[in-house]
Amino acid sequence: MSYDLYVYGDEAGPEALRAAALVTGLAVEDDGTAESSPFVVVRGARRRYSFTVEPPERVEPEDVPDEITAVLLGATSLVVIRVEGSEASEVPHAIRAARRIALAMRGAVHDVQTDEVHRRGSTRQATPTRGAIVTTLDINWWVRTDGLDLKSTAETFLELARRHLPDALPRRYGRTEPLQHRWEPGRAEAFMVHLEEDEPGDAGTSWTGSGPVAYGSISSSVWEGAVVASHSLTILADALADVRYREAVVRFFTAVASRVDAVYASASVLHGAEWSGRQLWYPFSAEYEPGLGPRGVWMGLPTTPKWLSWFGTDYADEIGPHLSFGSVRRHDRSLFHRAADEPTDQADLARLLTPSTPLGQRRRLGLRWPRQRSAPEPIPWLPVEYLAVTSPRDPTTYPTVESAQILPRSLRA
């Protein structure tokens, strides 16, 4: 029997682990131990056994307990500290060592006996000041309405949020502002009952998240003949400067897209929203995403590239050969496209597709010097026949789109 402490965090080498574990009065029993082996820590002049530190193990996100993910995103390594046998007097020493190791790993400690989690400091991002103009990451997952089950979708969303991005869990939820219901931990059934309540002209719900997650929603379509509906998440983009948070968002994006069998999904960096202190406001000057499925009618793929894109089974084989920049990864019969490592807005993504401008020659008084030709138009990121046609934007309205020339048969209204 042993008392076990699990430390999750970044990868740390053996020397860093030993330095963190040892304080005055503690020593490693055998300093010649191989790096890949456990090391035993002894205490006092009599070198009494205290605890054992196992070598680091690499872990995948799905292997990290929800209790840890709630306070720490992106853990990649696990170190187990054991107090062997019945040496209860050594448990406090092991706990203190575990906390020091967690600090060295930028991680957290899970005491599996008490189920307590310890993490020094806060992982929460500072919220913007009231009235600040902010950048957001707007995520949309487009799904077929045929066979769409909102309760099953909600269960999937909550499961994946707990595993990858706990900030996306609802805090308050409802169909109208102000949101009428408060999320109670361990009371997901109340959320499900709310989803199943029939309200004329509405199907689905919206919520506020925690930390950088401003909004989320899942929905079906109430329009007759609708073939698509969308689920969404809006995140304050400053949080994505933290690589752990950024990669957690990417994992959540792809996991949801795969599980809900998204037709298409995107994560777009948009500027110009205003933070009121509690929620986002969108002035006319703010950037918007054109609606690709107005009234449940699918119009096609967006005219501009997005930081993240998911192409479902209706598009993957046709679109894959045309993705000429960024990284492309196959997920079963779908494709995940990441245009850049870091979140990138549409203006910078357009520059990736703009040919370099050649220099001309200008003559004056017998001299020649370079002159810049007019800037060329960006190359379409995908074949134009698959792209929805965006109409010129009226500054007082949202952008609108017209249907692409080619739509998958299953998505035609």
Q: Give the model confidence (pLDDT) of 262-309 as tens digits.
A: 999 999 999 999 998 888 998 888 998 888 999 899 999 999 999 999
Question: Is 406 within 8 Å of 306 (Cβ atoms)?
Answer: no
Q: Burial code of 100-112, b = ≥16 C-beta within 10 A, e = fewer?
A: bbbbbbbbbbbbe
Q: Is the pLDDT of residue 2 over 50?
A: yes
- Please state the pTM of the whole predicted model: 0.83
Is the Cβ–Cβ distance between 295 and 226 less than 8 Å?
yes
Mean pLDDT, residues 316-345 taken together: 95
CATH number of this structure's domain 2-118, picked from the four choices 1.10.10, 3.30.70, 3.40.50, 1.10.3470: 3.30.70
Q: Give the integer Cα–Cα distance in Å for 383 and 303.
A: 10
Instruction: Report, as an integer, the average pLDDT of 77-84.
Output: 94
Sketch the domain layout of the chain as residue ranges: 2-118, 133-411
Q: What is the pLDDT of residue 340?
A: 94
> Across residues 194-200, what is the average pLDDT?
70
Lowest mean pLDDT among 15-19, 130-134, 197-201, 230-234: 197-201
Which spans in 322-361 are helix H?
346-352
CA distance 63 to 170: 23
Q: How far is CA 294 from CA 16, 98, 215, in A?
A: 55, 54, 20
Query: Closest by alpha carbon to 8, among 113, 121, 98, 93?
Result: 98
